[in-house]
Amino acid sequence: MPDVISIGEVMVQMNPVSGGPLRHARLYERHVAGSEANTLAGLQRLGVSTGFISRVGKDELGLAVLAELRAEGIDVSRVSVDPEAPTGVYFVQRGYPVQGKTLVFYYRANSAASRTGPEDVPEEALDGARMVHLSGITPVLSESCRQACLRLVELARKRNVPVVFDTNIRVTLWRERARALEGLKPFLAEASYVFTGDGDLSFLFDGDSLESRVAQLRALAPAAQMVIVKRGAEGATVFMPDGSTVEHGGFRVKVVDELGAGDAFDAAFLASLLQGRPVHEALRLANAAGALTVTALGDLEPLPTWDDLRMFLARHEGADSALLR
Ligand code: KDG
């Protein structure tokens, strides 16, 4: 029985081998990715068992998605094949026209995954679960997806399973702040752990400091034991309920493909908590996992194992690095 259950959409990712605008891209690497499943794959690499709820199309791309998720060891018994709609696809444009920024072009409207509904979330899906993980992407995909997410959260509450929620704002999908805030509220209200980022916080709230935006988020997430704010290469900060914070700096690496870093971060943080590691150590490992994930194309492929993290930390923290136990 999986320790962590999540729900979302996995798409085929078309990632050009060269830079520049997509209108000229001719050679692509074909990957498979989706924020929530990326997090599950990251957990699997760190020894945590996971299960995913979704749909794929009855097509070649759906077979590719299923094959990759299975290869990561994710339980896909609750990913159904929907003959009525296709598997979603997205294209990535890295570093053009703004260096260091990635643009994403979705071909996912009315995809099979967007037809996921509460009927795909039976109560037994939570048998044995230690955490339920959701992100702000799935509820915006369709009304049935929103209902499926609400059901998952309701079942988690009924069974006392902690809910982990990553705000994961995709502006292209939400379009405007008021809609996003309304859409995220029911999930924030139930979350025991909230992951967010400085970009997400600025999109959601006004305020002259990170602290004031986090305070506004906390007001919507009164049950949150931790609000974890990711700041990319700058590191991350955990805001505890008593107002104290725990911080860890980021690691400098050569960025090849920034997508998936936040998912890798969540995975390493959660795997560390599930192992009983202290918050500061979880942050250190999560920052390292995020950094490692931007060093290669694709979201799933560069996700680290414990051995990868050990080697990375030894290199980046020097001889004094207190290596993982
Ligand atoms: O986290 C990276 C993913 O967000 C991206 O690769 C695809 O899931 C995705 C999305 O919805 O944007």
Q: For residue range 262-272, what is the model confidence (pLDDT) as tens digits?
A: 999 999 999 99
Residues 151-183 have pLDDT tens digits of: 999 999 999 999 999 999 999 999 999 999 999
- DSSP string over 268-298: HHHHHHHTT--HHHHHHHHHHHHHHHTTSSS
Percent helix / strand / coil, the chain, rounded to 5: 40, 20, 35
* For residues 104-132, average pLDDT: 98
Task: Point out the ligand 1 atom lying closest to the alpha carbon of residue 137.
Answer: 11
**318 alpha carbon – ligand 1 mean position (Å):** 33
pLDDT at 318: 75
Burial class (CB in 10 A: 0-12, 13-18, 19+), 307: exposed
- The answer, yes or no, to whether the previous bond of 241 is cis (omega within 30 of 0) is no
For the ranges 136-140, 232-236, 320-324, the lowest mean pLDDT is seen at: 320-324
Candidate of 35, 173, 303 to mutate for ligand 1, largest count of ligand atoms within 8 Å of Cβ: 35
Active site residue 59: no
Ligand 1, CB within 6 Å, residue ranges: 33-35, 38, 104, 137, 170, 259-260, 262-263, 299
**184 alpha carbon – ligand 1 mean position (Å):** 17
Say what percent of the chain tops pLDDT 90.
96
* For residues 111-135, average pLDDT: 98
Region of 111 (left: φ > 0; alpha: ψ -120 to 50; beta: rest) is beta
Candidate of 7, 91, 104, 171 to mutate for ligand 1, largest count of ligand atoms within 8 Å of Cβ: 104
Cα dihedral 71, 72, 77, 78 sign = negative
* For residues 82-86, average pLDDT: 98
304 CB-near residues (< 8 Å, 6+ apart): 42, 45, 46, 264, 268, 288, 289, 292, 293, 312
Task: Point out the ligand 1 atom lying closest to the alpha carbon of residue 259.
Answer: 2
Backbone angles phi, psi at 18, to 5 degrees: -105, 170
Residues 82, 166, 257, 263: which is the catalytic one? 263
Task: Point out the ligand 1 atom lying closest to the alpha carbon of residue 33.
Answer: 6
Instruction: Tell the residue number behind the tokens 């995913």, with chain if given.
Output: 52
**155 alpha carbon – ligand 1 mean position (Å):** 25
> Is the model's pLDDT at 325 over the cut of 60?
no
pLDDT at 198: 95
Q: Count CB atoms within 10 A of the CB of residue 320.
A: 5
* For residues 193-221, average pLDDT: 97
> Is the model's pLDDT at 321 over the cut of 70?
no
Apex 275 CA angle, 46 and 121, nearest 5:
70
**321 alpha carbon – ligand 1 mean position (Å):** 32
Confidence of residue 253 (pLDDT cuts 50, 70, 90): very high
Q: Are 74 and 37 in contact (CB under 8 A)?
A: yes
Classified as helix, coil or strand, 239 is strand
> Is the model's pLDDT at 320 over the cut of 80?
no
The pair of structure tokens assigned to 273 is 């908590």
CA dist., res. 40 & res. 134, Å (int):
11
Nearest to 133 by CA among 74, 216, 92, 80: 74
> Is the model's pLDDT at 319 over the cut of 90?
no
Backbone angles phi, psi at 257, to 5 degrees: -155, 110
Candidate of 14, 52, 68, 90 to mutate for ligand 1, largest count of ligand atoms within 8 Å of Cβ: 90
**274 alpha carbon – ligand 1 mean position (Å):** 24
**169 alpha carbon – ligand 1 mean position (Å):** 10
Measure the N-to-C terminal CA separation of the chain; round to a whole number of Å.
26
Q: Are 113 and 8 in contact (CB under 8 A)?
A: yes
Q: Are 266 and 293 in contact (CB under 8 A)?
A: no
Nearest to 93 by CA among 85, 84, 103: 103
Quote the mean pLDDT of the chain: 96
CA dist., res. 271 & res. 314, Å (int):
20
Task: Point out the ligand 1 atom lying closest to the alpha carbon of residue 170.
Answer: 12
> Is the model's pLDDT at 219 over the cut of 90?
yes
Residue closest via CA to ligand 1's atom 9 equals 34
Looking at 171-305, list the stretches that DSSP marks H as alpha helix, in order from N- to C-terminal side.
Answer: 171-174, 177-190, 198-204, 210-220, 261-274, 279-293
pLDDT at 17: 95
pLDDT at 324: 65
Confidence of residue 322 (pLDDT cuts 50, 70, 90): low
Residue closest via CA to ligand 1's atom 4 equals 35
Candidate of 7, 10, 11 to mutate for ligand 1, largest count of ligand atoms within 8 Å of Cβ: 11
Amino acid at 244: S
Task: Point out the ligand 1 atom lying closest to the alpha carbon of residue 299.
Answer: 6
CA dist., res. 278 & res. 283, Å (int):
9
> Is the model's pLDDT at 33 over the cut of 80?
yes
Residue closest via CA to ligand 1's atom 3 equals 35
